[in-house]
Every structure is written in structure tokens, then in C-alpha cells.
Amino acid sequence: MWLGPGTVAILRGVDAKRQLGEFLQARRSQLRPEDIGVATYGDRRRVRGLRREELALLAGVSASYYSRLEQGQAVNASPEVLDALARALRLDDAERRHLHELAVGTRRRHPTRRPAPERVSPAVHQLVAALGDVPVVVLGRRSDVLAWNTSGHVLFAGHLDPDLPQRPDQRPNMARLLFLDAHTRELYADWSAKARAVVGTLRMAAGQYPDDSLMSALVGELAVKNPQFAAMWADHRVKAGGDAVYEMRHPLVGVISVTQQTLRTEDGQAIVVATTEPGSASHAAMTLLVHSAVTTRTVAPHPLSARE
């Protein structure tokens, strides 16, 4: 199997120095000189976007220092320099935080031990129980399904064993399902929009946890098995969560317009809550789906399928 240079770079891992340099380079290449008032005088440019020296000038740093940052040779960028680069690159708030996290990561001494399994806290169990039949999925930082209620299971992955989140070594992974599982891919009318959001969330997490070997393994696996993931990952877009509306084509009840709201815990886990507009056809379809899921369960479950 032939691997392009971008995929080979991904397989080297999510090392913080490499991430910082690649993020800066990607963002620089996406800025056109005319968009930010940089005069080109009609010269023939050999690089896409801004040149290193042009960005350095805009940020008020030396070209040689900025070059070392991109090449992973400088690990002491101050918050003031990072903010100047963020302004020059026109980063949004999520991208600015990501830049700072990448810079902090370059100064860490990374442990080599395997990350401990993620667990759902009693407080999160209580929150999901309080939401009743509203579809809920609890995701770890790598998008592993740590828990879901009956409604969340049937909405997002009804073709899977509902008890899988109870087994840490067999937990479904939402990123893996989205890119490698035909059922999950077909759930989204605009699959590309959902895929970009998932990749952006993973990219943000990779910056926060540059020493996570399981994250590196997941990224490498997806890059090899799915060229679309590799291309999206190389784009270095980040996403901090929030709300998004997706048209889902569920095999049991048809098309549903679902708002997926993401709440973050102190442990960096994501509580994804799926709602529909009251009184809408989507709301009626979701009610039917939830009722069907609850009444067909042969054993009354705990509100979460994944008791720790």
C-alpha cells in the first residue's frame, strides 16, 4: 500500500513539536497576502499563502525565530509571542487555545506508560439519569464511548451490542465508526460536515494530550484506512465542541433533524445530548424511536449501560 507524505507524517505520531510546526505552517498556507493587506507587487510566489518572513513581520518576531518554531526547534515561545502569531494568523478562540496548548506540550517530558482507562464519574452518571429518555452518549477524549443510555445507543449505534461500553477493551469509538463503519456513515446526510467536526475535536484533544499513545495509534489507524480522514487531519482544523444541527437518516424512523449539544466535564469527557425541536416532525420521529428502544429492551437497564 502506497502512503503519501502527509499520511507518513501522521503515522509518526502526534508529537507536540511536530504538531506546533505543522499547525503554524497549515494556517500560514491558508492566508492569502491580499486578504491581510500584504503587498506582492505582482511577484511570482513559490509558496501557497504567506511566506514565513511575511508572517513573522506581521507578528513582530524575527524571521529566524519563527522559522525555528515551524521546524520544531524552539520550545520557549512566550504567551505574548503566541498571541501575536494568533492575531497575525487570524485564529479564532478555539484555534488560539489550541496554539497555546501545543506550545505548552513542547515543554513537557512525556511519560511512556500506557494511559489509564477513562472512567465515568458518579456525577456524570447522575446527570445522564436525570435526562431520562433524552439520547445521551458520554465520550472520552479519544471519542471512545464510555457510556450511553438506551436512547443514545439506538440513535447513534443501534446495530452494536448495547453493553460494549462496559468493556474497556471493546468500547466503540465514534471517530472510528464515522470513518470506517458503513451504518454510521449513512446516518448523516451531510457526512463531510460531521466528519470535519469529529476530526477537529480529535485534533484539539491531541494538542491537549500530546503524550497519549492511544491517541497516536487511533490517528495512525484512521489515516491508513481512510484517505478522507488523512486529508482532514492534515488540514489542522480544530473544534472545541458546542452545538451543531445534523440531518440524520435513521433506518428505523427516517430523517430526523437533530441538535447535538456537547457538554464538557472537568476530566475532558464529552456528554453529547441529542434533542429535536418541540412539535416538529423530527420530534415525533425521535419520540417514536425512543419509545421503541425502551419498550423492546428485555431487561430494564440502569440509565447508563456502562457502570464502572
Domain residue extents for the chain? 5-105, 122-296
| CA atoms of 91 and 96, how far apart (whole Å) | 6
| pLDDT at residue 87, as a whole number | 92
Q: Is the pTM of this model over 0.95?
A: no
Angle between helices 191-208 and 213-225 (to 10 degrees): 150
Q: What does the mean pLDDT of the chain come to?
A: 85
CATH architecture of 122-296: 2-Layer Sandwich (3.30)
Which CATH fold topology does 5-105 show? Answer: 434 Repressor (Amino-terminal Domain) (1.10.260)
Asked whether residue 109 carries a pLDDT value surpassing 60, the answer given is: no
176's grid cell: 472510528
36's grid cell: 491581510
- Contacts of range 92-101, beta carbons closer than 8 Å, 24 or more positions apart: 93/240, 94/204, 94/238, 94/239, 94/240, 95/27, 95/238, 97/240, 98/23, 98/203, 98/204, 98/207, 98/238, 99/20, 99/23, 99/24, 101/207, 101/208
203's grid cell: 485534533
When comparing pLDDT for 226 and 44, which is higher?
226
Q: Answer for the pair 82, 99: CB distance below 8 angstroms, yes or no.
A: yes
pLDDT in tens, 243-261: 899 999 999 999 999 999 9
pLDDT in tens, 257-273: 999 999 999 888 999 99
44's grid cell: 511570482
pLDDT in tens, 182-236: 999 999 999 999 999 999 999 999 888 888 889 999 999 999 999 999 999 998 8
Q: What is the mean pLDDT of residues 29-42?
A: 71
Q: Answer for the pair 152, 293: CB distance below 8 angstroms, yes or no.
A: no
| pLDDT at residue 304, as a whole number | 55
pLDDT in tens, 64-85: 999 988 888 877 788 899 999 9
Binned at pLDDT 50, 70 and 90, residue 2 comes out as: very low
| CA atoms of 86 and 77, how far apart (whole Å) | 12
